[in-house]
C-alpha cells in the first residue's frame, strides 16, 4: 500500500515522463487522470497540487503502451538515448549540437524506465570533450533499441546493473589494481558520482551549480554530503591575507 511519502511525482513530471517517450499530454489531461483514478494522486502542499507515485505512473504507462508504440512507430534510430532528428535537436536527451545531455528519466533496479526521483532530477549536463568524442563515435555503432537507448543490452533493452558492474566495471578496477586487501574491486559504480562531485569542488565550482549537476533537491543535501570537501584551511588563510591587503590598499 502506498504511503503518503511516496506521492512525489508532480503533474509536470508526469508530462515530462510521457514526453520523453514521444507521447505529449496536456496538464488538463494529467489532472483528469488524477480525478478519474487512472493515476493514483493526492493533493498536497499549500496549493493543493496533484502528486502521484512511481508505481501508479508505471501502471498507467503500461495501460497506454499501444499509444506509445503508435507514436514512436518508425522512429527507432541508431545512436544515443532519445536522440531526436536534427530538426528536434533542442528536445533531444543527447544534444550533439549543444554538447549537452538532458536527464529526463531513469531506470530503476527492475530496469523499468520512469521519471527521476524529484523535480531537481530533471537537468542538463554539459559534455566534457572526451564524452562528446566517444558518444559521437558510438552513435554510429550502437545496437538498435526500440527504447532508443544509448547503451542498450544485446536485445535493445535496459542494461541490468549487475551486468554492467560484473562484466565491465569490476574487471576494469581489477585490471587497474584498484582493489582491496583481498583483491576484490574497491568501489561500486556510484563511487563515480562522488568522484565527480569531489572534482567539481576541487575546481572551485559554485555549490549551487554542483547541486544542479547532481540533481539534489536542495543545497542542504549537497552541503550535508560534500560540505567538508569545501573546507580548505590553507585557502582560507590566503583569502584573509588578500582581504586585508585589499583593505589596506583602498
For cell 527492475, the residue is: 110
For the chain, where do the domains classified as CATH 1.10.1660 start and end? 1-72
**Residues in the chain where the model's pLDDT stays below 50:** 1-2, 69-91
Q: Supply the Cα-derived Rg of the chain in whole angstroms.
A: 22
State the pLDDT at residue 118. 82
State the pLDDT at residue 65. 59
CATH topology of domain 1-72: Multidrug-efflux Transporter Regulator; Chain: A; Domain 2 (1.10.1660)
44-82 exposure pattern, b = at least 16 Cβ within 10 A, e = fewer: eeeeeebbbbbebbbebbeebeeeeeeeeeeeeeebbbb
pTM of the model: 0.56
State the pLDDT at residue 238. 81
Amino acid at each position: 500500500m502506498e504511503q503518503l511519502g511516496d506521492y512525489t511525482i508532480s503533474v509536470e513530471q508526469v508530462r515530462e515522463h510521457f514526453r520523453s517517450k514521444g507521447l505529449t499530454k496536456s496538464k488538463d489531461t494529467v489532472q483528469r487522470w488524477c480525478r478519474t483514478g487512472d493515476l493514483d494522486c493526492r493533493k498536497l502542499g499549500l496549493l493543493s497540487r496533484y502528486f502521484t507515485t512511481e508505481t501508479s505512473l508505471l501502471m498507467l504507462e503500461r495501460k497506454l503502451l499501444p499509444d506509445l508504440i503508435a507514436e514512436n512507430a518508425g522512429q527507432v534510430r541508431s545512436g544515443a538515448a532519445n536522440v531526436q532528428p536534427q530538426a528536434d535537436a533542442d528536445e533531444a536527451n543527447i544534444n550533439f549540437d549543444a554538447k549537452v545531455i538532458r536527464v529526463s528519466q531513469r531506470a530503476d533496479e527492475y530496469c523499468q524506465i520512469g521519471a527521476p526521483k524529484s523535480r531537481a532530477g530533471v537537468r542538463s549536463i554539459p559534455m566534457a570533450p572526451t564524452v562528446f568524442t566517444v558518444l559521437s563515435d558510438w552513435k554510429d555503432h550502437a545496437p538498435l533499441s526500440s527504447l532508443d537507448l544509448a547503451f542498450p543490452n544485446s536485445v535493445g533493452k535496459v542494461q541490468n546493473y549487475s551486468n554492467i558492474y560484473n562484466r565491465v566495471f569490476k574487471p576494469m578496477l581489477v585490471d587497474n589494481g584498484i582493489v582491496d586487501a583481498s583483491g576484490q574491486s574497491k568501489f561500486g559504480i556510484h563511487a563515480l558520482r562522488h568522484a565527480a562531485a569531489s572534482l567539481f569542488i576541487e575546481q572551485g565550482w559554485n555549490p549551487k551549480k554542483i547541486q544542479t549537476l547532481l540533481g539534489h533537491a536542495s543545497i542542504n543535501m549537497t552541503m550535508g554530503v560534500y560540505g567538508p570537501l569545501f573546507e580548505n584551511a590553507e585557502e582560507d588563510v590566503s583569502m584573509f591575507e588578500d582581504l586585508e591587503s585589499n583593505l589596506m590598499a583602498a
